[in-house]
């Protein structure tokens, strides 16, 4: 493939950035990849494993002269990075990000992007519980959606080029408005993570009583929870602080349903439990019958009930 961008700069060299490096190289999407991470230890590891063509000593140095700059830092660090690189960005360059929340990132980064530079936020819906520069792999984005969230001023040609770039990384792409993105992700990713964190916390409390039984007898469902609960604490702290309204809204609905199930159990209301589990089973069966049981969720099909 002919490179879509001459020089790509990645700020933050964790799971997502390192996977982007491997996938960019696999497809030949950039002539030169430049990286920067805040910690010197991370920069040293990146150099040692040859993650990028060049590792810079500051975010501004990496971003200067880049045609595409992607912010791959935790959501809460986006603003300070944007503030640092804003003054050195090349006219005509594109600035994007991979943050798990979109509205607050747009509000925090947008004001630091100078006129003549395209700002096009994005979010790959792919990840693992691992982090850091060694955790990436080229296949992470294959057949997974990346949501592109153009802002009002985004230039259509620059948007098309970024869509082609993510396609080259192996992803399926969809464009979406920031608020809708944040609500959908609160349902499909953020609240489920919070539930997993809580369940593992409860089990840990219990472990003090039952010694090692919780771990010894943990079944597949609980093991999946522990995998998710092993995700990076800084990343997830920032997700909840920055998608407050949508996660509180979904969490409110979740607790209402949970209370109803709790009451049904206490009152021995088997009909309620049976009806509820029948409904949830039919949702899963509907997905399978429609041939939609792929790793890539179709966000056109995710319906968020508003009443
Ligand atoms: N992990 C996932 O499953 C996943 C999936 C999709 C999107 N995201 C988003 O991608 C972003 C990166 O996540 P990740 O999983 O790659 O994280 P990670 O913890 O693996 O890496 C984060 C990197 O950012 C660097 N960093 C932190 N603060 C910085 C700062 N102020 N300046 C420069 N570098 C800084 C860290 O040193 C590290 O190199 C986050 O915004 C996250 O919400 C994560
Ligand atoms: O598979 C995992 O480990 C993930 O949690 C990845 C996951 C998700 O919820 O699907 C987590 C956060 C991201 O913003 C996108 C993807």
Residue ranges of the domains in the chain? 5-176, 180-289
Here the ipTM equals 0.98
Residue 191 beta carbon below 6 angstroms from any ligand 2 atom: no
- And the tokens for 162? 């970024």
For the domain made up of 180-289, the CATH class stated in words is mainly alpha
Q: SS3 for 55?
A: strand
Compute the average pLDDT of residues 148-169.
96
The pTM assigned to this predicted structure is: 0.92
Could you please state the CATH topology (level 3) that the domain comprising 5-176 is classified under: Rossmann fold (3.40.50)
Q: Kindly report, residue by residue over 248-269, the tens digit of the pLDDT.
A: 999 999 999 999 999 999 999 9
Asked if residues 178 and 106 have their Cβ atoms less than 8 Å apart, the reply is yes
| 8 Å CB contact between 166 and 124 | yes
Which residue's CA is the nearest one to ligand 2's atom 15? 125
3-class secondary structure for 98-150? CCCCCHHHHHHHHHHCCCCCEECCEEECCCCCCCCCCCCCCCCCCCCEEEECC
Q: How many residues does the chain have?
A: 307
Nearest ligand, CA of residue 43? 1
- The predicted pLDDT at position 283 comes to 83
pLDDT of residue 301: 42
Closest residue by Cα to atom 9, ligand 1, is 99
Q: Report the C-alpha gap between 262 and 266 in whole angstroms.
A: 6
């Amino acid at each position: 493939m002919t490179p879509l961008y001459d020089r790509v700069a990645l700020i933050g060299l964790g799971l997502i950035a390192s996977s982007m490096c491997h996938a960019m190289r696999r497809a030949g999407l950039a002539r030169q990849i430049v990286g920067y991470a805040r910690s010197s230890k991370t920069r040293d590891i990146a150099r040692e494993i040859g993650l990028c063509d060049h590792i810079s000593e500051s975010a501004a140095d990496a971003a200067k002269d880049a045609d595409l700059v992607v912010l791959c830092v935790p959501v809460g660090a986006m603003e300070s990075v944007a503030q640092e690189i804003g003054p050195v960005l090349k006219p005509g360059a594109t600035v994007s990000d991979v943050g798990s929340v979109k509205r607050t990132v747009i509000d925090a980064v947008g004001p630091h992007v100078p006129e003549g530079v395209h700002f096009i936020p994005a979010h790959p819906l792919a990840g693992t519980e691992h982090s850091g520069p060694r955790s990436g792999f080229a296949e992470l984005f294959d057949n997974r959606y990346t949501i592109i969230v153009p802002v009002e001023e985004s230039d259509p040609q620059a948007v098309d080029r970024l869509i082609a770039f993510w396609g080259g990384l192996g992803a399926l792409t969809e464009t979406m408005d920031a608020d809708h993105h944040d609500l959908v992700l609160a349902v499909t990713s953020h609240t489920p993570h919070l539930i997993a964190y809580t369940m593992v916390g409860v089990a840990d409390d219990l472990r003090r009583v039952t010694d090692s039984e919780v771990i010894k007898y943990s079944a597949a469902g609980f093991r999946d929870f522990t995998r998710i609960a092993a995700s990076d604490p800084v990343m997830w702290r920032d997700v909840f602080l920055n998608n407050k309204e949508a996660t509180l809204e979904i969490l409110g609905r979740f607790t209402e349903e949970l209370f109803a199930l709790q009451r049904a159990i206490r009152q021995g209301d088997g009909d309620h439990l049976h009806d509820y589990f029948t409904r949830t089973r039919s949702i899963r069966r509907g997905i399978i019958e429609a041939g939609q049981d792929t790793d890539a969720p179709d966000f056109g099909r995710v319906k968020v009930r508003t009443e």
